[in-house]
Structure 1
Amino acid sequence: MSPAEPRVVDGLGRVVVVIPTYDEAGNLAWIVERLRVAQPAIDVIVVDDGSPDGTGQIADGLAAADPAVRVVHRTAKAGLGAAYLHGFRVALEAGYDVIGEMDADGSHQPEQLDRLLDAMRAGADLVIGSRWVPGGSVVNWPLRRELLSRGGNLYVRMLLGVKVRDATAGFRLFRRTALEKIDLEAVQSTGYVFQTDMVARTLAAGLTVREVPIEFVERVRGDSKMSGSVATESLKRITTWGLRERRNQVRKALRRTGSSR
């Protein structure tokens, strides 16, 4: 394959993984190399939110050495969801058929991406690498964090009525047609709640969501961007959505009851 020819994944077409970064200088080259070795036909878009530690410059070096890597520079840290939305738009404009998400810190293992690709080949519109389905697991997590994640996902299922076990997971593949149907311009979530928002929107659009088990590994270098305040804000947003959805359901039921009299 010559450099001018687009890379193609069997049965899926052109595939790209979007990797958002903020202060990941110690991880980025390592994770991109692993991804390119595990899946040589998959391209990479790094979206850097103006990292002060030089992550953006490292990304530029990777792009200069590898035509499969592209860098999007943003001027400020605007949130995980905002970075992904920017990367998705760039990927859609570039004509990719499948667009993925992956963290830069090594918690999502590129060597397990084939599991998500197989599920997408089987017809899914969104595939989630899940920690909480049978076969999924976490490594080096304290019990408190596991309980927080499991409890948060249970709350999502109960309040939003979705059957996804790991709606907060960030290791994903979207079919291009799914992102187009969702209408990214309508997505307002910019923080970590973006992941749950996208699951809910995908299901509401009548699309197919599948989960595959992965082993999630806690980062060993750099600082986690997840904090108690971030988790609390996400739960507040989910509660607002859930109450609004329940209110709409009650209104629809009352209208049906009134029209049947």
Structure 2
Amino acid sequence: MAKSIVVIPTYNEIGSIAGITARILAVDPQVEVLVVDDNSPDGTGALADRLAAEQPRLHVMHRTEKNGLGAAYAAGFAWALERDYDFVVEMDADGSHQPEELPRLTALLESGCDMAIGTRWIPGGVIVNWPAYRKAISRSGTAYARILLRSRLHDLTSGYRGFRAESLRAIDFTSVNSQGYCFQIELAWLFERSGARIGEFPITFVEREEGVSKMSTGIVVEALAKVTGWGLSGLVGRAPARLALPAAGTPSR
């Protein structure tokens, strides 16, 4: 059976970390969780340590400062690859992603996908508690990135995704220097341009009920600037034909 780990970056998520880790661990007795805490002043890291002391499948990495989502994920990926997990999964700490949908993600990886993405913008995808303007901003941003990068992926900013370890190891993810949600765009684009086999599946995305959103003007500006630069650089090639992805989630070459 594949050995999987879910990497969860945290910063001031003390209200949600216990619940989300418990739900993930309840989904599959084989799955493990790595909390990557950026020295949260609200005590998230200390709480994660207490939870890990009672649960051997829960691990905690402490970083000394808050220096971005991308750096936190890169550190978590490296930790997982050093310990020979088969699948490495991303998930938000705030409960937006449903752990109960994890088996659908790992099923795509088990079928041979190099990367699997939980997607909001395909049939079956659902968003709960987002006002219309948030949906419009997200969909417009995704459409803009898809056009400029000539991407066939339907949700480039999704943070619910997983990788086969050997595929993640083959990609130079340490070269991804974007922070915030632009990290998700850049990493997905890196996989897509490499000719990786990518599968999508629809998810239910639920707006956080605890804590404060980490979205900021700086994060949006970074994503727009980088995507525009990549798109206008002349370096964007068309995605390989094997990346034609059916909306139902079954990957094809």
> Same fold judged by TM-score > 0.5?
yes
Q: Which of structures 1 and 2 has the bigger CA Rg?
A: 1
Q: Tell me, what secondary structure is at the counterpart of 1:18?
A: strand
Judged with a 3 Å threshold, the aligned counterparts in structure 2 of structure 1 residues 102 and 248 are, in CA distance, closer, same or farther, namely closer
Query: How many residue pairs are counted as aligned between the two chains?
Result: 237
Q: 2:181 aligns with which of 192, 202, 206?
A: 192
> Structure 1 residue 163 and structure 2 residue 155: aligned?
no
Do 1:160 and 1:242's aligned partners in 2 also have CA atoms closer than 8 Å? yes
Partner of 2:207: 218
Q: Which moved more, 1:171-180 or 1:18-27?
A: 171-180
Partner of 1:61: 50
Matched AA of 1:186: S
Matched AA of 1:164: L
> Structure 1 residue 177 and structure 2 residue 166: aligned?
yes
Partner of 2:13: 24
Do 2:51 and 2:58's aligned partners in 1 also have CA atoms closer than 8 Å? yes
Q: Tell me, what secondary structure is at the counterpart of 1:64?
A: helix
**In the TM superposition, what is the alpha-carbon distance from 1:67 to its structure 2 partner?**
0.9
Judged with a 3 Å threshold, the aligned counterparts in structure 2 of structure 1 residues 157 and 93 are, in CA distance, closer, same or farther, namely same
* Identity in percent: 49
Matched AA of 2:100: E
Unaligned stretches of 5+ in structure 1? Answer: 1-9, 250-261
Q: Which moved more, 1:19-28 or 1:180-189?
A: 180-189
Partner of 2:40: 51
Judged with a 3 Å threshold, the aligned counterparts in structure 2 of structure 1 residues 232 and 165 are, in CA distance, closer, same or farther, namely same
CA distance in 2, matches of 1:238, 1:196: 8
Do 1:181 and 1:205's aligned partners in 2 also have CA atoms closer than 8 Å? no
Alignment map for 1:1-261 (pairs within 5 Å)? 10=1, 13-244=2-233, 246=234
CA distance in 2, matches of 1:144, 1:215: 18
Do 1:46 and 1:72's aligned partners in 2 also have CA atoms closer than 8 Å? yes
Judged with a 3 Å threshold, the aligned counterparts in structure 2 of structure 1 residues 239 and 113 are, in CA distance, closer, same or farther, namely same
**TM-score normalised by structure 2 residue count:** 0.91
**In the TM superposition, what is the alpha-carbon distance from 1:241 to its structure 2 partner?**
1.2
The runs of 4+ residues in structure 1 deviating greater than 3 Å are none
Task: Give CA-to-partner distance per residue, 1:152-185, whole Å, 9 cap, x none.
Answer: 1111110001100001000011111111111123
**In the TM superposition, what is the alpha-carbon distance from 1:228 to its structure 2 partner?**
3.2
Judged with a 3 Å threshold, the aligned counterparts in structure 2 of structure 1 residues 27 and 93 are, in CA distance, closer, same or farther, namely same
**In the TM superposition, what is the alpha-carbon distance from 1:130 to its structure 2 partner?**
0.5
Q: Which moved more, 1:232-241 or 1:142-151?
A: 232-241
Do 1:38 and 1:111's aligned partners in 2 also have CA atoms closer than 8 Å? yes
Do 1:82 and 1:191's aligned partners in 2 also have CA atoms closer than 8 Å? no
Matched AA of 1:60: D
Q: Tell me, what secondary structure is at the counterpart of 1:124?
A: coil
CA distance in 2, matches of 1:147, 1:134: 17
